[in-house]
């Protein structure tokens, strides 16, 4: 284990920061954390060991049934909140429910619906909604299937967009622990959404989508007939795609 990883683990266990640990000097890890250390040495991500992450002021429980919410995704949630959305919002591929929950928490008058193809992910998302005291309607199903014949004012999604080639080269801490179903999808989601958007988005509606720097140009091409905007992540990379209907 590298010194950096050891500091990160100890800081997480002791509810402090790596910098504060360095300032304290030698620190002894209490025995109750030894089982967690064994799991960490096998590669299990800190978020799964802890069992939760903080996401835009919300406590989001996580397990190996869902993708770990990334800090970058908070940018997307924050941008949506700042846009003061109204009406009906769909969160597709909700996973842990972090996006739907954070947005509903900050925009309580919004009618939020969330879907996922994984029953286990949905169970955890429902639990997270309850723990954060927000009212969200959840549907089990793939892509837009649960919303057939309906329309939305806002669509948000952090879909699986990693290609099979990229997946093979992922860090083992991601590939070996996080659900492949939530990671791999390539450009399928964006292509299918572009085909269905005219029928499912209300006039004046907006879709907010996470992608990857490698995928963003291809994703944009599917929405050539729409008003679009690209938002960068903390590293300055093109990460989010905003698609507007008028």
Q: pLDDT per position in the chain (246 positions), as tens?
A: 677 877 788 788 888 888 887 777 777 778 888 888 888 889 999 999 999 999 999 999 999 999 999 999 999 999 999 999 999 999 999 999 999 999 999 999 999 999 999 999 999 999 999 999 999 999 999 999 999 999 999 999 999 999 999 999 999 999 999 999 999 999 999 999 999 999 999 999 999 999 999 999 999 999 999 999 999 999 999 999 999 997
| Overall pTM > 0.75 | yes
- Looking up tokens 């698609």 gives 243
Query: What is the domain count for the chain?
Result: 2
Question: Are residues 120 and 23 both part of a single domain?
Answer: no
3-class state of residue 54 by DSSP: strand
Note down the domain range covering 15. Answer: 3-42
Does 117 lie in the same domain as 33? Answer: no
Q: Which residues of 82-96 are buried (b: 16+ CB within 10 A; e: fewer)?
A: eeebeebbbbbbbbb
Domain assignment present for residue 138? The answer is yes
Same domain as 232, residue 110 = yes
Instruction: Kindly state whether residues 239 and 162 are assigned to the same domain.
Output: yes
């Amino acid at each position: 284990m590298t010194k950096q990883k050891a500091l990160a683990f100890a800081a997480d266990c002791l509810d402090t920061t790596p910098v504060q640990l360095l300032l304290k000097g030698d620190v002894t890890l209490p025995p109750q954390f030894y089982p967690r250390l064994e799991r960490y040495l096998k590669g299990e991500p800190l978020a799964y060991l802890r069992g939760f992450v903080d996401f835009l002021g919300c406590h989001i429980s996580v397990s190996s049934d869902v993708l770990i919410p990334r800090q970058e995704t908070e940018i997307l949630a924050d941008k949506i909140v700042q846009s003061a959305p109204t009406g009906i919002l769909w969160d597709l591929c909700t996973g842990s429910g972090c996006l739907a929950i954070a947005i509903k928490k900050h925009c309580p008058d919004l009618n939020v619906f969330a879907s996922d193809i994984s029953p286990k992910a949905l169970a955890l998302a429902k639990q997270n909604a309850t723990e954060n005291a927000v009212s969200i309607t959840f549907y089990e199903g793939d892509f837009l299937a649960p919303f057939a014949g309906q329309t939305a004012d806002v669509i948000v999604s952090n879909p699986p967009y990693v290609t099979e080639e990229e997946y093979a080269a992922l860090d083992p801490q991601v590939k070996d622990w996080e659900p492949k179903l939530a990671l791999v999808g390539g450009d399928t989601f964006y292509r299918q959404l572009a085909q269905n958007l005219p029928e499912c988005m209300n006039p004046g509606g907006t879709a907010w989508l996470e992608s990857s720097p490698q995928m963003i140009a291809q994703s944009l091409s599917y929405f050539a007939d729409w008003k679009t905007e690209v938002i960068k992540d903390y590293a300055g990379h093109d990460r989010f795609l905003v698609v507007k209907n008028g």
